[in-house]
Amino acid sequence: MRVSAIAFTALLIAGCAPAAVSAAEAPPAITLDGCLVSLIEEAQVPAQQAGVLQEVAVEEGQQVKAGELLAKIDDIRAKMAFRVAGLEYEVAQEEAANDVHVRYATAAARVTEAEYLMNMEANRKVPGSVAQIEIQKLLLTHRRTVLEIEQARMNLRIAALKAKVSYAKVESAEENLQRHQITAPLDAEVVTLYRHAGEWVEPGDPVMHLVRMNRLRIEGFLDAAQTAPGEVAGQPVAVSVPLARGSVAKFTGKVVFVSPLVQAGGAYKVWAAVENQPEPRTGLWLLRPGLSAKMTIQLK
């Protein structure tokens, strides 16, 4: 069975033409010509703070690892704020650990209790030796010292909470300091520098463009009338890419995406992820986005 003229034309426009499939039975594999090599991941890395770019630590064409420092915004004030927050936290910790007022109020309560009981005993032995109003004053003094214990403990709990607030300020100051450092969000290659050391940046300004080159996608289109999505989903692929001077590079991978949408002409998109390889002599990547490739998909 041949691909219909309309479907075949649509696939050519889409950039990928499927080979003819036997009418007797589905072949063990299907080959797609004119597939497109494209990126899986890329990032326009922005500044997160306003300030002067103090340092740009990478160059165009450089390979970077996720988390690696790319650039640094002037962070003198952020460092000072972080140090102040740290000192305030140390003070708050000392206050939260200081139970002197609790111990003093406890000791004072014992004294006032002893004084009250002693006068009560004296009155029991010699009625009227201590005026009743004095007994009431002693009792009131003792109750006040008991309440001072509760107040001192409450102040200690409040000091502990203030210490937690101070620690949160330390974390906030540390996060603010980290936002002055621009780091790589993924393993990638620097392809464009938009800003250089000494320039002013605002939050959201792109500083550089990164692309992931060690893993790329191969995009192609299948005829919905010939191949079912279940036949290709998750299946291994073999990819060949023509290079300069007639050489051909070969790669292997797996279909990781099958589009649920069928386009005009009856074709639907699939793409496979393949691991890129560096050229042995130069270290430059063999597979580059924008190249044309041939992809053979093993069918289920």
Q: pLDDT for 129-155, tens place per residue?
A: 888 999 899 999 999 999 999 999 999
DSSP assignment of 135-197: HHHHHHHHHHHHHHHHHHHHHHHHHHHHHHHHHHHHHHHHHHHHTTEEE-SSSEEEEEE---T
> To the nearest whole percent, how much of the chain has pLDDT over 90?
80
pLDDT at 274 (0 to 100): 96
Whether pLDDT at 45 is above 60: yes
pLDDT at 25 (0 to 100): 57
Grade residue 9 by pLDDT with cuts at 50, 70 and 90: very low
Whether pLDDT at 166 is above 60: yes
Report the alpha-carbon distance of residue 95 to residue 86 in Å, rounded.
14
pLDDT at 128 (0 to 100): 85
- pTM value is 0.71
CATH numeric code, 43-73+180-210? 2.40.50.100
More confident residue, 135 or 218: 218
Report the alpha-carbon distance of residue 215 to residue 100 in Å, rounded.
63
Q: What is the pLDDT of residues 109-134, one digit of tens each?
A: 999 999 999 999 888 888 888 889 99
Whether pLDDT at 6 is above 80: no
Report the alpha-carbon distance of residue 189 to residue 229 in Å, rounded.
34
Report the alpha-carbon distance of residue 218 to residue 36 in Å, rounded.
6
Report the alpha-carbon distance of residue 278 to residue 284 in Å, rounded.
5
Whether pLDDT at 79 is above 70: yes
Alpha-carbon dihedral sign for residues 114, 115, 116, 120: positive
More confident residue, 8 or 253: 253
Report the alpha-carbon distance of residue 292 to residue 13 in Å, rounded.
14
Amino acid at position 110, single letter: R
Grade residue 14 by pLDDT with cuts at 50, 70 and 90: very low
**CB burial class (10 A; 0-12, 13-18, 19+) of residue 18?**
buried
Count CB neighbours of 288 within 10 A: 15
- Choose which CATH entry (2.30.40.10, 2.40.30.170, 2.40.50.140, 3.30.70.330) describes domain 5-40+212-298: 2.40.30.170
Grade residue 27 by pLDDT with cuts at 50, 70 and 90: low
Torsion of Cα atoms, 108 then 114 then 118 then 121, to 10°: 140
Whether pLDDT at 10 is above 50: no
More confident residue, 10 or 47: 47
Whether pLDDT at 40 is above 90: yes
Average pLDDT over the chain reads: 90
